[in-house]
């Protein structure tokens, strides 16, 4: 008897019920193949830009220099936070085209309320963003207006609101802590402590995974695979902390992004709310018939996106050092592109936070590398658009193959 399995774990070759040997043909799952492809593409992008940025001052290249890597990660943090929030919406088979304008509005509100004190200033951005997204989510969920139309209107409306409130002027950030949100570095000692905690977490998760699979009678990875799952991430974590400490420390926006990513991954993978979002996106009718309150969950997804838009606006405004009426322009496209490049399906029901972060890193790497090479804006738009179309094409090809 010949059996084909679609898994990356070692499977038993003997059937205990039939007493027969089975021939197992290994086939890499489409989702894993896509992830590996994007990792290799990211490595290729890094090698290319490292090679092209060689100079007399930087004979080995500037792109992977610790200082530039820190700048790259600060830039990626804003897109990454937005991509995590956008993931919740896209997984539920919705879309939001207004997040860029909302970043400008929330950042502008925060800049205009600096006289209230630090905490009210920071909260004002998050409250405004949550309120706006909750309003849009209510229109979509309870009035059945397509999300594309609602958020397209929001793209124009919220840009107009911040233009009106700011009178078209740029507002500087005066609160030091507000400014530090986008540019601060944690101390090298704190970075080392963070690395130790992360490596311990990697070890604990790998061992817990093995124990859970044994408990439920599932196939368990071999010793070599388990060691690889511990050693490879640990080496990457140690290398990352070392490079960041060389240039002064890990950027604070990266720590905030990691916290958002961990929270988002927990919500999508380990909560009823997350599972319901995937169910709604996969088959809305079946989800409704099974008793899931789709309207409430869609509203909650948009409100959650609003909270993350507020955080992203604070990071962006703090990094730039001012709030301008055109802040956040086209950020919605970067967030959507990051999700799609990372494997999130625009048809809903599929996507992971880790993939969205990988996509955000790809987009930020393209932006940073092309800026270092002084590529003109028109060419940058063309290249980023081509990457997005290629990612969607790859997704559709994978669906047809499945």
How far is C-alpha 287 from the geometric centre of its chain's CA atoms?
A: 26
**Bridge partners for 26 per DSSP:** 5
Query: Average pLDDT for residues 295-319, to the nearest whole number?
Result: 95
Reported confidence tier of residue 224, pLDDT bands at 50, 70, 90: confident
Taking all residues of the chain, what is their mean pLDDT, rounded to a whole number? 86
Give the pLDDT confidence score for residue 253 in this predicted structure.
94
Tell me the pLDDT tens digit for each residue of 30-77: 556 666 778 888 899 999 999 999 888 888 889 989 999 999 999 899
Instruction: Give the CA radius of gyration of the chain.
Output: 23
Residue 18: is its pLDDT beyond 60? no
Rounded Cα distance between 346 and 336, Å, is 9
Find out whether 101 and 154 touch, Cβ atoms under 8 Å. yes
Query: Average pLDDT for residues 244-252, to the nearest whole number?
Result: 91
Q: Helix crossing, 66-91 with 294-320: angle to 10°? A: 160
Reported confidence tier of residue 21, pLDDT bands at 50, 70, 90: very low
Reported confidence tier of residue 28, pLDDT bands at 50, 70, 90: low
How far is C-alpha 396 from the geometric centre of its chain's CA atoms?
A: 21
Reported confidence tier of residue 401, pLDDT bands at 50, 70, 90: low
Biggest CA-to-CA distance, the chain: 79
CA-to-CA separations, 59 to 38, 53, 76, 125, 137, in angstroms, rounded: 28, 9, 26, 44, 52
Residue 154: is its pLDDT beyond 50? yes
Residue 288: is its pLDDT beyond 90? no
Among 28-32, 99-103, 152-156, 279-283, which is the least confidently predicted range? 28-32
* Sequence spans of domains, the chain: 30-184+251-401, 186-249
Tell me the pLDDT tens digit for each residue of 333-346: 899 989 988 888 88
Reported confidence tier of residue 6, pLDDT bands at 50, 70, 90: very low
Tell me the pLDDT tens digit for each residue of 123-150: 999 999 999 999 999 999 999 999 999 9
Give the pLDDT confidence score for residue 79 in this predicted structure.
93
Reported confidence tier of residue 3, pLDDT bands at 50, 70, 90: very low
- Helices then strands, each counted (H, E), the chain: 15, 4
Give the pLDDT confidence score for residue 17 in this predicted structure.
46
Give the pLDDT confidence score for residue 230 in this predicted structure.
87
Q: What percent of the chain has pLDDT over 90?
A: 53
pTM of the model: 0.87
Reported confidence tier of residue 168, pLDDT bands at 50, 70, 90: confident
Residue 23: is its pLDDT beyond 50? no
At 5 the three-state DSSP class reads strand
Give the pLDDT confidence score for residue 398 in this predicted structure.
62
Reported confidence tier of residue 2, pLDDT bands at 50, 70, 90: very low
CATH number for region 30-184+251-401: 1.10.3470
User: Highest-confidence range of 133-147, 229-243, 370-384, by mean pLDDT?
Assistant: 133-147
Long-range contacts at 161-168 (CB < 8 A, ≥ 24 apart): 161/105, 162/101, 162/104, 162/105, 162/108, 162/109, 162/325, 163/325, 165/108, 165/109, 165/112, 166/108, 166/112, 166/323, 166/324, 166/325, 168/325
């Amino acid at each position: 008897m010949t059996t084909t399995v679609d898994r990356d774990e070692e499977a038993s070759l003997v059937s205990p019920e039939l007493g027969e040997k089975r021939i197992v043909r290994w086939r890499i799952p489409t989702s894993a193949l896509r992830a590996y492809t994007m990792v290799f593409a990211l490595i290729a992008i890094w090698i290319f830009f490292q090679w092209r940025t060689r100079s007399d001052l930087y004979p080995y290249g500037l792109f992977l220099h610790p200082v530039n890597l820190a700048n790259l990660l600060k830039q990626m943090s804003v897109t990454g936070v937005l991509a995590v929030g956008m993931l919740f919406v896209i997984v539920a088979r919705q879309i939001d085209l207004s997040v860029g304008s909302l970043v400008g509005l929330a950042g502008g509100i925060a800049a205009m309320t600096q006289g209230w004190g630090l905490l009210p200033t920071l909260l004002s951005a998050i409250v405004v963003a949550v309120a706006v997204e909750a309003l849009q989510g209510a229109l979509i969920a309870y009035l059945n207006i397509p999300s594309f139309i609602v958020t397209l209107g929001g793209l124009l409306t919220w840009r107009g609101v911040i233009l009106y409130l700011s009178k078209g002027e740029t507002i500087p950030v005066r609160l030091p802590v507000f400014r530090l949100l986008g540019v601060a570095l944690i101390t090298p000692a704190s970075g080392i402590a963070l690395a130790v905690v992360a490596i311990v977490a990697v070890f604990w998760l790998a061992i817990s995974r093995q124990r859970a699979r044994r408990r439920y009678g599932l196939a368990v990875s071999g010793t070599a695979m388990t060691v690889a799952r511990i050693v490879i991430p640990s080496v990457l974590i140690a290398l990352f902390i070392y490079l960041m400490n060389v240039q002064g420390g890990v950027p604070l926006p990266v720590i905030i992004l990691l916290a958002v990513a961990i929270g988002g991954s927990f919500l999508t993978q380990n909560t009823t709310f997350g599972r319901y979002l995937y169910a709604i996106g996969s088959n809305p009718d079946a989800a409704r018939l099974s008793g899931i309150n789709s309207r409430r969950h869609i509203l909650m997804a948009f409100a959650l996106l609003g909270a993350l838009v507020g955080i992203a606006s604070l990071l962006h405004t703090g990094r730039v050092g001012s709030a301008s009426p055109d802040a956040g322009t086209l950020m919605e496209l970067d967030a959507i592109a990051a999700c799609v490049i990372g494997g999130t399906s625009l048809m809903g029901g599929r996507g992971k936070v880790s993939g969205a972060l990988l996509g955000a890193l790809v987009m930020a790497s393209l932006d940073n590398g092309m800026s270092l090479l002084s590529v003109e804006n028109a060419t940058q738009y063309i290249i980023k658009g081509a990457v997005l179309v290629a990612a969607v094409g790859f997704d559709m090809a994978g669906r047809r193959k499945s």
